[in-house]
Amino acid sequence: MLDAFRFLSAVPLPAKRGGEASGLVRSVAYFPLVGAALGGLLILTDWICGEVFPQAPYLISAVLILGVYALFTGALHHDGLMDTADAFWGRHSKDERLRIMKDSRVGAMGVTALMLAILAEFACLYAIPGSLSASSGRFRWAVLLSFPVLGRWVMSYLCFRFPYARDNGTGAVFTGARPFRFAVSTLLTAAALTGAFVFMMRDPLLLAVLLISSLAFAELAGALFTRSIGGVTGDIIGGVGMLSELLILLLLASRIPELLLH
């Protein structure tokens, strides 16, 4: 479990001795648990903003939430999104796309994609309190717990479902995870989200919509990348995870929750 926190967060943890590769493979099952911990941190950030900045809590909270999230994840998935956008935003061959993703330099397309994603996330986080006429506080906290958990569930699904596109690399350790590990990941995700929506919103239908949407998005994205370059990479897994979080935020900022809850 600690391997998942070591890889997916910037929290300083003691280095592990020996068995690093096998530990990372097992850690796929606990990806959503990292998301739940991050979600709890975001809820705390939101609560502090409400206490310290009562006149504009949601505006300031949206900025600080994105900042805290990037800080505690080491902006790992932001980097993955930029590299993926640079590689696939244009007509490149498979080898060129793999080379671009491995290049540490960032191009204009990558920067543009990240800027648009962050702006969209900010808009959603700012708009969410007004998306429901009642219980907006509980709903907002359910959202802050949901999107990090679902984003990491999508990552664990990509690791389980699709092959690795390179002969070697960081992501190669995670791909090809056994079905059992994805089953554990799914159970942890369901448990975390059930807690969020049963105790905060009491709406299992909305939970089902989020789970199905996340799974469909992960399957579609993974299939497209596999068709293009023969599989996924670490950058793709991180980038798709970040886009899946944006998808969840867009769904929760839309009228869908209002229609389901009334």
CB 253 within 8 A of CB 128: yes
Cα-flanking dihedrals φ and ψ of residue 89, to 5°? -90, 75
Each residue's pLDDT tens digit, 128-142: 875 444 455 678 888
Please report whether residue 252 resides in a domain: yes
Amino acid identity at 40: G
What pLDDT is attached to residue 20?
Answer: 55
What residues make up the domain containing 241? 31-261
CB 261 within 8 A of CB 134: no
Please report whether residue 10 resides in a domain: no
Q: How many CA atoms lie within 13 A of 26 on its CB side?
A: 8
Confidence of residue 258 (pLDDT cuts 50, 70, 90): confident
Give me the percent of the chain exceeding a pLDDT of 90. 44
Stronger pLDDT, 26 or 203, i.e. the higher one: 26
Average pLDDT over residues 199-226: 85
Average pLDDT over residues 134-160: 83
Each residue's pLDDT tens digit, 54-83: 877 788 999 999 999 999 999 999 999 999
Which range has the worst mean pLDDT, 21-30, 32-41, 240-249? 21-30
> According to DSSP H, which parts of 128-255 are helical?
136-161, 179-200, 204-229, 234-253
What pLDDT is attached to residue 220?
Answer: 97
Whether pLDDT at 12 is above 60? yes
Please report whether residue 19 resides in a domain: no
What pLDDT is attached to residue 15?
Answer: 63
Please report whether residue 251 resides in a domain: yes
Please report whether residue 23 resides in a domain: no
CB 241 within 8 A of CB 77: yes
Q: What is the pTM of this model?
A: 0.88
Number of domains making up the chain:
1
Please report whether residue 99 resides in a domain: yes
Please report whether residue 212 resides in a domain: yes
Please report whether residue 204 resides in a domain: yes
